Amino acid sequence: MSSILSSIHGRVILGKQIGRTIGFPTANLHILSELPRLDYGVYGVIVDWKGSKFPGIMNIGIRPTFNDHSEVSYEVHLLDFNKNIYHEKINVDICFPVRKERLFKDVSELVKQIRRDVAYVKGKFLFMDYSNQNKNHFVNV
Ligand SMILES: Cc1cc2nc3c(=O)[nH]c(=O)nc-3n(C[C@H](O)[C@H](O)[C@H](O)COP(=O)(O)O)c2cc1C
């Protein structure tokens, strides 16, 4: 990975569990390190969990679509990952911005946008050697 915007360390805590009902379960983070100085928005991230690296997409913000005036949340949706990492400590390298956090007119509009965000992030990570285990990708040739 050439450069990262910020790196955070945190523990996965239970969110409001809306994420899984909309098809994008997220690991909500209780940040143990310094808070990142980044705008509210969506970012491509690499998560290090127990020494393995996984690509993901992160939302930092107040989730205006749900209008519950909650505090700032840091939540990561891991791509193609279905392990339970509740309570685990993870490290998150925030690699690139995707877009600003927005207020959507309803949840289905948000879900459509998240699908586009995920496709964009997957496309970018396809060409990055984010993982030292991932020997199947043709990188650095
Ligand atoms: C990739 C991604 C992008 C998101 N973008 C927005 C957004 O622009 N606006 C918004 O209100 N919420 C956004 N969210 C937050 C969702 O509202 C959030 O995941 C949902 O409230 C579920 O949270 P919970 O699992 O903690 O209940 C985004 C979440 C993800 C994973």
Query: Using one digit for the tens of pLDDT, what is the confidence trace for 20-54?
Result: 778 888 999 999 999 999 999 999 999 999 999 99
CA 18 to CA 53: how far, in whole Å? 25
Question: Is the minimum distance from the CB of 27 to ligand 1 under 6 angstroms?
Answer: no
**pLDDT tens track for 106-115:** 999 999 999 9
Q: What is the pLDDT of residue 13?
A: 93
Question: Does the structure show a pLDDT above 60 at 90?
Answer: yes
Residue 137 has pLDDT above 80, yes or no: no
Mean pLDDT for the stretch of residues 75-81: 94
Ligand 1 atom at minimum distance from 99 CA: 8
Q: Is-contact 16 69, C-beta < 8 A?
A: no
Distance separating alpha carbons of residues 45 and 88, to the nearest angstrom:
17
Distance 106 CA to ligand 1 centre (A): 12
Residue 139 lies in a domain: no
The answer to whether the CB of 97 falls within 8 A of the CB of 11 is no
The Å distance, Cα 12 to ligand 1 centre, comes to: 16
CA distance linking residue 79 with residue 119, whole number of Å = 10
Q: Do the domain assignments include residue 136?
A: no
Task: Name the residue range of residue 96's domain.
Answer: 6-126
Q: Supply the CATH number for residue 12's domain.
A: 2.40.30.30
> Per the structure, how many domains does the chain have?
1
Whether residue 71 lies inside any domain: the answer is: yes
From 32, 40, 34, select the one nearest 6 (Cα to Cα): 34
**Does residue 141 sit within a domain?**
no
Residue 1 domain-assigned (yes or no): no
Question: Is 134 within the bounds of a domain?
Answer: no
38 lines ligand 1 (CB under 6 A): no
Q: What is the mean pLDDT of the chain?
A: 88
Write the CB contacts of 25 (distance below 8 Å, at least 6 apart in sequence): 19, 77
In a domain, residue 98? The reply is yes
- The pLDDT score that the predictor gives to residue 23 is 85
Token pair 């791509």 is found at 79
Residue 140 above 80 pLDDT? no
The Å distance, Cα 67 to ligand 1 centre, comes to 11
Å from CA of 59 to ligand 1 middle: 6
For residue 42, the ligand 1 atom closest to its alpha carbon is 3
Whether the Cβ atoms of residue 55 and residue 125 lie closer than 8 Å to each other: yes
Record the pTM.
Answer: 0.89
Residue 132 included in any domain: no
